Structure 1
Amino acid sequence: MTLNCIAVDDEPLALKLVCAYIEQTPFLKLVGCYDSAIEALQGLHEHAVDLIFLDIQMPNLNGLNLAKALGRDRIGTAPMVVFTTAYDQYALEGYKVDALDYLLKPFGYDEFLRAAGKARSYVERFRSPAPAPVALPEPEEEYLFLKVEYQLVRVAFRDILYMEGMKDYVKIYTEGSSKPLLSLTSLKALEEKLPSRRFMRLHRSYIVSLERIQAITKNSVQIGNINIQIRGQYKEPFSQFLSRWTR
């Protein structure tokens, strides 16, 4: 049995150590290292996680609050939490949020392995094996998180009008905002995160929300006051979509 793990700590050396411990433990698999609880939230949307090694003292959102949020949102399926902290006064608070264990910094690999073994024993004893995949699709998320300046911003799909790719970043135009959000990412990376039934790439520099299209010509679409050209390899997929839409 292998447990998918993430490590969360705002101290670079502490984070590097815990990640190294995870990678050298045969029954653990490292799927993410994060220097903030907010970054970890995004990771939990992207990966199935069984166990979190979680620092408590962090800016913006501390480890205790993250653990409480996970307990509320994922009743019965929340990842197990092992707190890692330099402050022993948090031990009682940690157990109040059903933490599996508590590691007091600085700790060695033997202490880490004891906590990891406790997590494996808990899964073997109390959790059933994951069910076989079924044909029913998982519920689709209604938003994505974007890195905007120095924070993660949650943007609802329904609010997005279109996206414009620039050289080093992407402009995301949303309803009710006079200025686009600027995210340091690529249009391709965003395209992979967007549901294909709601968004389509029409140009090497543009992705549009299909539900926001107001008018269509042979080679362009209109969203608000802007006309976006349909070019190159993107013409045929849009023609196929249009043929279904106009039946």
Structure 2
Amino acid sequence: MNLTCIAVDDEPLALGLVSVFIEKTPFLTLVGKYSSAVEALQGLHDQKVDLIFLDIQMPDLTGIELARVLGQAQQNGAGPRIIFTTAFNNFAIEGYKVDALDYLLKPFNYEEFLRAANKAKAYFELINRPAPAPAVAAAPVATEPEEDSLFLKVEYQLVRVAFKDILYIEGLKDYVKVHLQGSNKPILSLTSLKALEDKLPARKFMRVHRSFIVSLDKISSLTRNSIQIGTMTIPVSDQYKDAFSVFLSKWT
């Protein structure tokens, strides 16, 4: 698959670097480069573009504003998708609110650029994949109700903990601390973070650090490298950044 791309940046050096990276990537074709979002918007009327590498801080029309202009076409599946390129990490949430595919923080190298480009390629391959043939209806299968809690060994007893009450879990050497909503005192349990991770539903919890698991619906804010839950800032380590990026891409 080949993706047509444009680069948009008001800094000549940054625009030149992104253009070189695009031309260096076999499955990307550079069809335009622009020093302003206004120029890019005019260019988008003249040709079909799959992907935009877009700076955020620009005069007249910012990258976020351009993304909002293009938003309706994206919802209809006709518009280009966006990878933001910026020197400011405080725009991460805004970037994902306009459904950007990825967010490259300057200065970035070719390896980081290629990772984002591959994510875009995977996205376009997925949406262009032929629909599977309709399956023959099968008899309904009875399913067990989903678990909503787990039991933790606390001192000499088993304590039931509801998933909805968990804010985040902190791993210590031989114990875990389970921090609960509405409680100033965490539960201390003799188990490993890995053993607990295997018991938690993946759609509700995510491990973001060798020492932390977070409850996804308790996140109050986030950046590329950290998560805020209440007053607690939790780092995202390199080992878990790929999975975290997938979650970020769905943040709206």
- Scaled by the length of structure 2, what TM-score is found? 0.50
Are positions 1:87 and 2:88 aligned together? Answer: yes
Partner of 1:9: 9
The one-letter amino acid paired with 2:42 is: Q
Shift of 1:73: 4.0
| C-alpha separation in 1, matches of 2:47 and 2:4 | 8
The one-letter amino acid paired with 1:16 is: G
Per-residue deviation, residues 43-99 of structure 1 (Å, max 9, x unmatched): 101111000000000000000010011012452212110000000000010000000
Partner of 2:119: 118
Partner of 1:31: 31
| C-alpha separation in 2, matches of 1:44 and 1:114 | 25
Per-residue deviation, residues 83-129 of structure 1 (Å, max 9, x unmatched): 00000000010000000000000000000000000000011112358
Residues 123 and 17 of structure 1: CA distance in aligned 2, closer, same or farther (over 3 Å): same
- Consecutive unaligned residues of structure 1, counting only runs of 5 or more, are 130-247
| C-alpha separation in 1, matches of 2:46 and 2:11 | 23
Q: CA RMSD in A?
A: 1.1
Secondary structure in 1 aligned to 2:59? coil
| C-alpha separation in 2, matches of 1:78 and 1:98 | 12
Secondary structure in 2 aligned to 1:23? helix
| C-alpha separation in 1, matches of 2:81 and 2:129 | 15
| C-alpha separation in 2, matches of 1:30 and 1:73 | 21
| Percent identity between the two aligned chains | 66
Question: Which 4+ stretches in 1 moved above 4 angstroms?
Answer: none
The one-letter amino acid paired with 1:77 is: A
Partner of 2:49: 49
Partner of 2:100: 99
Are positions 1:71 and 2:62 aligned together? Answer: no
| C-alpha separation in 1, matches of 2:120 and 2:55 | 17
| C-alpha separation in 2, matches of 1:80 and 1:27 | 15
Partner of 2:128: 127
The one-letter amino acid paired with 1:58 is: M
The one-letter amino acid paired with 2:8 is: V
Shift of 1:4: 0.1
| C-alpha separation in 2, matches of 1:83 and 1:55 | 6
Secondary structure in 2 aligned to 1:39? helix
- Scaled by the length of structure 1, what TM-score is found? 0.51
The one-letter amino acid paired with 1:67 is: A
- Consecutive unaligned residues of structure 2, counting only runs of 5 or more, are 131-252
